[in-house]
Structure 1
């Protein structure tokens, strides 16, 4: 069993780094060379959050599992780069709505295409039953990582 745990550790570490490297390479090739992977993920969280009716800094921060101040720093940078915009609500000046700009939407779509190519590339290498097993195992892994930290 220890052999499998070592292999699992190696796979998790290497796959995490591989995906980050692939994302960095894809961003460097596209029109979005001025974005980091982290910034792209903030744009993605804002866009996906907006689709679910989440617009406030605190809602987006919760989605990303970061503090509001961490998100504020990222949003400020992305606003300066032209990818996001913040709007104070007229009815309540404390409420700040965060949305992607047209450039942010373009970056989001490009990044989404990258993920689709990645998933399609993996899926075409697997038989259907292997794909089912892999998605089941990854779902279990995701649930583990989402569980409260004291369980880990």
Structure 2
């Protein structure tokens, strides 16, 4: 097997493993009614101190406004967020996280922290630097597509 084939197999396995572990983490925790994509939407919305406009959130997630509207409606019905009109510009709809969403985001952050520590804890600083550099190059390639 060539190095390129090994890298491909590795990337596929890692992607699938992370997705499976995130799904299991949600399924066995207090946020069973969330999908991984819904959790990532909440996590993206939680990155801002202020409620985000729907258009900004759709851009952050690289999804259409229509796709976001469907997801936001589902999360609103589940009690994870609310939509409200902007006070400054009534045309803008803001996404506001509920306290339940904040708890889900914190649990998700802890999941990711454990995952990162599991990898970083077995690497030297030099190895960790090389891994970060390689993953940054990989991310740059994905963004260029």
TM-score range, shorter chain: over 0.9
- Which residue among 116, 120, 123 is the counterpart of 1:119? 116
How many Å apart are 1:54 and its aligned residue? Answer: 6.4
> Structure 1: how far apart are the matches of 2:134 and 2:4?
14
Q: Normalization by structure 2: what TM-score?
A: 0.95
Q: CA RMSD in A?
A: 1.4
Aligned length: 145
Match of 1:30, SS?
A: coil
**Worse overlay, 81-90 or 59-68:** 81-90
Q: Normalization by structure 1: what TM-score?
A: 0.91
- Which residue among 87, 91, 94 is the counterpart of 1:94? 91
> Structure 2: how far apart are the matches of 1:113 and 1:95?
32
How many Å apart are 1:65 and its aligned residue? Answer: 0.4
2:26 match: 27
Gaps of 5+ in 2: none
Gaps of 5+ in 1: none
CA contact (8 A) 2:51 2:96 kept: no
> Structure 2: how far apart are the matches of 1:43 and 1:56?
13
How many Å apart are 1:3 and its aligned residue? Answer: 0.3
2:82 match: 85
**Residues 114-151 of structure 1, C-alpha deviations (whole Å, 9 max, x = no match):** 0000000111111221111100000111111111x2xx
Change (3 A) 1:42 1:7: same
> Structure 2: how far apart are the matches of 1:26 and 1:126?
25
How many Å apart are 1:91 and its aligned residue? Answer: 4.7
**Residues 21-72 of structure 1, C-alpha deviations (whole Å, 9 max, x = no match):** 0101111121000000000000011111x23x56111100000000011011
Match of 1:6, SS?
A: helix
